A and B are shown apart, each in its own frame.
Chain A
Amino acid sequence: MPGAAERPLSPHLQIYRPMLTMMMSIVHRITGVALYFGTLLPVIWLLAAASSPEAFATVNGLLGSWIGLIILFGYSWALIHHALGGVRHFVWDFGHGFGPQARELLAKATIGGSVVLTVLLWIVIAVVKG
């Protein structure tokens, strides 16, 4: 902008030493973007079910293959991690969990919780579906 004063820029990402809370913020955004495109998976699956037995067999076969199941496992982890990250934001919105110990604990609980819940989910699916 002509005539605008040269202002100092605030330090960017690469200036800081990587920290857990910072990584969790980045992962929250990455999982959000992944889920944005990942929503196509259930929507295409539903569209196939609404179209024809052949279309459903194709899509269901792809999702049920080893690669498909790995992608679905990743999708479910991203969803759970992003959801727990959202809960963490709710905690912060109410003014709690900003202390040095509390925020580290919340970050670790989000990682641990997302891994445990994802594994638990797939155990439940395996048990229910035989």
Chain B
Amino acid sequence: MSTSSRTPSGASMRTPRRKVAGLGSARSGTGHFWLQRVTALANIILVIIALPIVISMAGGGQEAVLSTLRHPLAALVLLLLLLSMTFHMRIGMQVVIEDYVHSEGTKVLALIGNTFFTIAVGAAGAFAILKISFGG
């Protein structure tokens, strides 16, 4: 806040209207909340669909994983789940960071790290699924 908008005694000369102008929701206030719910719903649906796929892959050898993932539907379900999960992870962790990290520099670094981590995890998992599914 610039000091030029202050009286010599330090009180702000800005009107309450001026203080909040441009700081409002800009019609996107519920976007974060809504995406958390949409990805949560997608996670629940996809986890239930993915459960038999994961159980059939797990506990056996590598061939069990490869043969299951070669089926396009199995790969697609896991890809969608990974996408929805990593998105949910990103915006969830964003809230946690914003709640507990108050120093501006650390907060921005943590938010960037959050973005890097979730996209890297999502990309790595998607790459593995696609590589196996395409027969590589």
Q: Which residues of A contact B (CB under 8 A)?
A: 1-3, 29, 32-33, 35-36, 39-40, 42-43, 46-47, 49-50, 53, 56-57, 60, 64, 79, 83, 86-87, 89-90, 93, 124-125, 128-129
- The residue of chain B having its C-beta at the shortest distance from the C-beta of A40 within the complex is B121
Is there an interface contact between A50 and B85, defined as CB atoms closer than 8 Å? no
Give, as a whole number of angstroms, the nearest-CB distance from A1 to chain B. 7
Is there an interface contact between B121 and A124, defined as CB atoms closer than 8 Å? no
Q: What would 14 more interface pairs be, CB under 8 Å, given A36-B92, A39-B86?
A: A2-B3, A3-B6, A36-B93, A39-B85, A39-B121, A46-B129, A46-B132, A47-B124, A53-B62, A57-B62, A60-B62, A89-B37, A93-B37, A129-B59
- The residue of chain A having its C-beta at the shortest distance from the C-beta of B60 within the complex is A129
- The residue of chain B having its C-beta at the shortest distance from the C-beta of A64 within the complex is B59
- The residue of chain A having its C-beta at the shortest distance from the C-beta of B9 within the complex is A3
Is there an interface contact between B44 and A33, defined as CB atoms closer than 8 Å? no
Interface size of B by CB at 8 A reads: 37
- The residue of chain A having its C-beta at the shortest distance from the C-beta of B50 within the complex is A42
Main secondary structure of the interface of A (DSSP, over half): helix
- The residue of chain A having its C-beta at the shortest distance from the C-beta of B59 within the complex is A129
Per the bound structure, the CA–CA distance linking A9 and B132 in Å amounts to: 55
Give, as a whole number of angstroms, the nearest-CB distance from A42 to chain B. 7
As a 0/1 sequence over residues 92 to 107 of chain B, the CB contacts with chain A under 8 angstroms (1 = contact) are: 1100100000000000
- The residue of chain A having its C-beta at the shortest distance from the C-beta of B37 within the complex is A93
Q: Which 4 A-B pairs have the closest CB atoms?
A: A46-B128, A50-B128, A43-B125, A56-B62
